[in-house]
Homo-oligomer: A and B are copies of this chain.
């Protein structure tokens, strides 16, 4: 089901109940870009520590916009022995809801945009009818402003249409606006002494509108209602109407209700993420670190600098996460699965020894066909991710005695995979551990090598040809990590390099030490 600004409000109950009844949820995001650094691969060095990786992604990926969010809910039907799924494809856009709300700037990466375009992505759905959202801090601020205005208007004589910051003394009208304001007063006097009910003032500047509000509030605290009306062309002008006290209160109340609704509308898509979070359900994703980072950054709070704080926030927002790419890369799946990219994984899990799960769309929900792929639509990717999870979970059941055909999302068997997010292209640390300290692999067979930028991979192979098999992890165009096959060769290599002029070799330990010193300085 496609959800945009047009049908968001009417779909909310459907979404809430799909989340509530589900056994587990699958999510996926599409972004306006991946890396604002020189290249995606410099973001993913093979020997990044989890801290380094987190800092790089936070620095180089968070200015992009998560603009499509896929949610697929799965509920197991024990009598029919099948899953019922409901899939939602949300288009998300930070439409400013009034002139005081944040005017978000986000980055687009041409290659990512072009890739999505080639997959038939509909950008108009994002930019023209995307669902707005606020993060928690923005929501709090808007609620506060709103409450402050309401409490003022309940007090004496300061109706809600006067902005809280405007001065309450007599109005100082700058010389050049005096004639203008006098004319306005004439018009209002006219209104009060004739049969007419209201008068439209001419369009004017924001500053003049402010003066009008202040002046009229000062001169006519009770008898008139002043409001700014906006034409479709976004031209603002002021409407002054005659009202008695009862009418004035009624309008005031209507206005407040309208404001409250506007406020809920502006929290928008964040309400869906809040519901996912509150449900405490297992949330499944494929290679989901960036999805999780963007989701928290966009709908909760700017990401903390410190990795441990990020882990804390994440486990608060998503108490149980499972990454199918990590699962597929771990025993006993690793031995059976060559390619863990989502599309390949899904194909592989249709073949023995795996069994395709029985999954049907709920009534009224469109069904996806895995034969004619719609990859890279977030809703479809979330669906496929859910399928992969079910197949792999059920496969674990075949090891039980007696074997079980259905393994639920609450089974102990899948707990080892909880809260571990796949770390792309890191050689020796498979995952980011959200619920504790990370693995600290020995890197005593690793060298840090610097060299002229003319060097190619082949130069490194040549340099280390005496040491047997090596593995090169490029850092930038003048440095790389080189992993030797045996740790005891490291010192030999370092010694040999002592007199070299064109390149320099350090042990990994020396490299870490140098970096720490640089940081302290």
Q: Which of B109, B123, B128, B457 contacts A128 (CB 8 A)?
A: B123
Complex Cα–Cα for A165 and B458 (A)? 11
Smallest CB-CB separation from A470: which chain B residue? B174
Are A104 and B95 closer than 8 Å at their CB atoms?
no
In the assembled complex, the Cα of A149 lies from the Cα of B456 at a distance in Å of: 19
Count of chain A residues near B, Cβ 8 A:
46
Within 8 A of B (CB), among A102-137: 103-111, 113-118, 122-124, 126-128
In whole angstroms, what is the CA distance A493 to B69 when docked? Answer: 58
Interface of A toward B, CB cutoff 8 Å: 32-33, 36, 65, 93-96, 103-111, 113-118, 122-124, 126-128, 165, 167, 172, 174-176, 207, 234, 456-458, 461-462, 465, 468-470
**Contact partner of A110 among B96, B124, B470, CB < 8 A?**
B96
A118, B5: Cα distance in complex, Å = 13
Contact B108 A469 (CB under 8 A): no
If A95-B114, A110-B96, A174-B469 touch, does A105 touch B458 (CB 8 Å cutoff)? no
Residue of B at shortest CB range from A165?
A: B456
Q: How many copies of this kind of chain does the complex include? A: 2
Q: Are A109 and B114 in contact (CB under 8 A)?
A: no
Nearest residue in B to A203 (C-beta to C-beta)? B339
Q: Are A33 and B110 in contact (CB under 8 A)?
A: no
Give every chain B residue within 8 A of A234 (Cβ-Cβ): 115, 118
What secondary structure prevails in chain A residues at the interface with B?
mixed
Residues of B near A32 (CB, < 8 A) are 108
> Which 7 A-B residue pairs are closest in the complex by CB-CB distance?
A117-B128, A175-B469, A123-B123, A104-B110, A103-B111, A123-B127, A94-B110
Query: Which chain B positions have C-beta within 8 A of A126?
Result: 123
Residues from chain B with Cβ under 8 Å of A94 in the complex: 110
CB distance from A82 to the nearest CB of B (A): 31
Q: Evaluate contact between A456 and B167: CB separation under 8 angstroms.
A: yes
- Chain B residues with CB under 8 Å of A118's CB are 234
Chain B residues within 8 Å of A93, by CB = 110, 113-114
Give A465 Cβ to nearest chain B Cβ, in Å. Answer: 8
- Residues in B whose Cβ lies below 8 Å from that of A124: 117, 122-124
Whether B108 lies near A105 (C-beta < 8 A) is: yes
Q: Which residues of B contact A456 (CB under 8 A)?
A: 165, 167
